């Protein structure tokens, strides 16, 4: 079974530029998460999707960050314009849904963003 795919793996941009990250979850997983992991910290949720609907985006800086999951499968996270403090690893995770056996989140390798 293929895991969560993310691209690109690395991205270097200058501040005020825009950037987009892509995630393809495990086939059949209805729930998709984007986390931000700043160096030296644990991942923090940015946004959660259930199929193509947003469940929780309370921690997403909406003035610069946007995300979509139009067909309920893959997802794109965009930052425009980027700030220095956006330098982090952006992790995508997916899960099959609620329930003891299904509520396991599987993570992609992440995209490491450096903003100069």
Partner 1 sequence: AQSVTQLGSHVSVSEGALVLLRCNYSSSVPPYLFWYVQYPNQGLQLLLKYTSAATLVKGINGFEAEFKKSETSFHLTKPSAHMSDAAEYFCAVTRNSGNTPLVFGKGTRLSVIA
Q: How far is the CB of 107 from partner 1 (least distance, A)?
A: 4
Using alpha carbons, list the distances in angstroms from residue 7 to 29, 103, 104, 110: 18, 24, 22, 8
Positions in the binding site for partner 1 (CB under 8 A)? 4, 6, 31, 33, 40-45, 48, 50, 56, 91, 93, 95, 97-100, 102-110, 112
Q: How far is the CB of 10 from partner 1 (least distance, A)?
A: 9
Q: Which one, 3 or 15, has the nearer CB to partner 1?
A: 3
Q: Distance between CA 98 and CA 115 in Å, rounded?
A: 36
Q: Which one, 27 or 41, has the nearer CB to partner 1?
A: 41
Strands of the sheet containing 75-79, edge to edge, are 5-7, 19-24, 75-79, 65-68
Q: How far is the CB of 31 from partner 1 (least distance, A)?
A: 6
Burial per residue of 12-41, b for 16 or more beta-carbon CB atoms within 10 angstroms, e otherwise: ebeeeeebebebbbbeebbbbbbbbeeeee
Q: How far is the CB of 81 from partner 1 (least distance, A)?
A: 26
Q: Which one, 29 or 78, has the nearer CB to partner 1?
A: 29
């Amino acid at each position: 079974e293929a895991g969560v795919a993310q691209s690109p793996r690395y991205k270097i941009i200058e501040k005020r530029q825009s950037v987009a990250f892509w995630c393809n979850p495990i086939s059949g997983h209805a729930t998709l998460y984007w986390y931000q992991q700043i160096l030296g910290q644990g991942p923090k949720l940015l946004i959660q999707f259930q199929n193509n609907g947003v469940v929780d985006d309370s921690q997403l800086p909406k003035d610069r960050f946007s995300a979509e999951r139009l067909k309920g499968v893959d997802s794109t996270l965009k930052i425009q314009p980027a700030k220095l403090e956006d330098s982090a690893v952006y992790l995508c995770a997916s899960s099959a849904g609620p329930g003891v056996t299904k509520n396991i989140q599987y993570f992609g390798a992440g995209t490491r963003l450096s903003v100069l």
